Amino acid sequence: MASPAQNERLTRVGPGTPMGELLRRYWHPFAATAEIDELGIKPVKLLGESLVAFRAGDGSYGLIDRQCPHRRADMLFGIIEEDGLRCSYHGWCFATDGKCLEQPFEDIANPKARFRDKIRTKAYRVEEKAGMLWAYMGPDPAPLVPNWEPFTWDNGFRQVVYADVPCNWFQCQENSLDPVHFEWMHRNWTSRLAGDGSYGPKHLELKFDEFEFGHIYRRVREDTDKDSQHWTVGSTALWPNAFFLGDHIEWRIPVDDENTLSITWMFHRVPVGQEPYVQQRVPYWKGPVKDAEDNWITSHVLNQDIVAWAGQGVIADRTEEHLGQSDLGIVMLRRSFDENMKAVAEGRDPKGLIRDAERNKCVELQIKHREIFTTSMTLEESWALGKKLAYRFNQPHYPHQVGQPEAVKREFQVAMGMIPADAEHTI
C-alpha cells in the first residue's frame, strides 16, 4: 500500500513535479521516423506539454511549442520551410532549436530593432535512432540516446507499433515487474476467452534484481526449473519506462497524468535465404484498443495488458492496495523511483544515464535465447526452435497487438520469404 503522497509523486509528470523532473533526464521515443517524414508535421504531447514535431526542408527534425510565442496561434498549421517552421498566422519563423529566424512585418517596419533576436519558442532536442525519433526535455548536458544491443543487430525486419492507453503511465510500467500476470491474464484468461477451461503451469518461485539499466525478474513455473533461462537470464524492466523481452522493447511514454503512449519496437531475424537484408524504411502503425462497438479488445497480449491497466482507473489508487509476495518487484520499482527522484532533487544524476560514446556503441542487455536473433537459420528451423522454447517466433501474423495493416503484413512476409514479392495475398 502506498501513501497518498507517494502515489502523487509516482504519477504526476508535468514540469516541476518530482517524477516529471526525473523523466526529463532521459530520452523518450515519441514517433516513427517514417511517420514524420511522410506527414511533415504532427501534434505531440509529452510529459504534459503540448508540442509539434516537424521535418524541416533540410531534413532536420524539430520539436517545439505548439503555440506560437507571438499571438499563441497553433503551430500545427505552420508552413514548413527549409530551415524551420513558420507560423501561418503572421509568418514568424522558428528554427528547430527555437530561435526566431524571421518576423516578416517587424523586419520591414523596424529592421534595426532586431526584435526577432529577443524571441525564442520552447524547443527540445530530437535525435533519430532505430527508426524512431527521440526527444530530450531536460537540462544540459544531455546524455546519449541509448544504443541498446537489439538496435545493432543485422538482417532484421523491424516495425514500430503504437497504442493510445487511457490511463497513467506508471501502472503500465509496474506491469513490467509482475510475472504472475502472464500465468493468469495471458494464459488462463486467454484459454477461457477461447472456450478452453484449462489452466497453465503455476508459478512456484520468483526473484527480483536491480541492475544499472533497470530491474530483472526471474521465475520458476511447474514446467521449468532453475536451469531454464526464465531463471538464469530473466526478463527486463528497462529503466525508466520500458519492458524488454528479446524481440521487442515496449516504452510507456507519459502523454500527461492520465494518458500513455505505448510504443513497441519489434525485431524479426530474417531467414538465412533472405540474407543479407537491409531494411530501407521501418514501417509503423497504430493498433486499436476498442472495437467498433466500443468494447475492449482482448485477443492479443498488449491489448490484454491495456485492459488491466485501464481497469485500475485513470490513476490507480495505490492507497487501497493489498500487496503480497508476487508484488516484491513492484515494491522494488517504487523504491527505485523514490530514490532517483531524490537524486535529481539533490542535483545528482539518476541511474542509467549513458555519457560514454565508446560504451554506447552497443549497450548489452540480458537476453533470453539470444541465438534466436543473432544466428542464421532457415524459416523452418526458426519455427522449430520457437516451438521448442515456447517462443512466438517468426509467425506470419503479428502476435503482440491487434490491427497490423495488410501493407505492413505483406512487407513482413516478403522480407521473411513467406510469400513472393508479387503474391496476390498474404498468409
Residue-range domain boundaries for the chain: 31-133, 149-415
Q: How many residues does the chain have?
A: 427
* Residues 292-306: tens digit of each pLDDT: 999 999 999 999 999
What is the rounded average pLDDT of the residues 143-152?
Answer: 98
pLDDT of residue 385: 86
Q: Which amino acid is at 347?
A: G
pLDDT for position 179:
96
Handedness of CA 304, 310, 311, 316 (dihedral sign): positive
Instruction: Assign 388 a pLDDT band (cuts: 50, 70, 90).
Output: confident
Asked if the peptide bond before residue 240 counts as cis, ω within 30 degrees of 0, the response is: yes
pLDDT at 127: 98
Q: Which pLDDT value is given to residue 390?
A: 75
- Fold assignment, 31-133: Rieske Iron-sulfur Protein (2.102.10)
The C-alpha cell of 44 is what? Answer: 505531440
Segment 355-377, tens digit of pLDDT: 999 999 999 999 998 988 999 99
What is the per-residue pLDDT across 75-120, written as a single tens digit (0 to 9) for each? 999 999 999 999 999 999 999 999 999 999 999 999 888 899 999 9
At residue 2 the predicted structure's pLDDT band, cuts being 50, 70 and 90, is confident
**What does the block give as the cell for 55?**
521535418
Predicted pLDDT at 112: 87
Report which of 233, 23, 29 is spatially closest to residue 151, judged by C-alpha positions: 29
CA distance 234 to 367: 8
- In tens, the pLDDT along 222-273 reads 999 999 999 999 999 999 999 999 899 999 999 999 999 999 999 999 999 9
Q: Is residue 389's pLDDT more than 90?
A: no
Give the predicted TM-score (pTM) of the model: 0.96
CATH of 149-415, one of 2.60.40, 3.10.180, 3.30.310, 3.90.380: 3.90.380
The residue among 263, 284, 287, 252 whose CA lies nearest residue 167 is: 252
List Cβ neighbours of 257 (8 Å cut-off, separation of 6 or more): 11, 12, 13, 14, 48, 168, 315
Average pLDDT, the chain: 96
Q: According to DSSP H, which parts of 97-168 are helical?
A: 104-109
Would the pLDDT of 392 be above 80? no
Average pLDDT over residues 195-204: 94
Contact 264, 164 (CB under 8 A): no
pLDDT over 90, % of the chain: 93
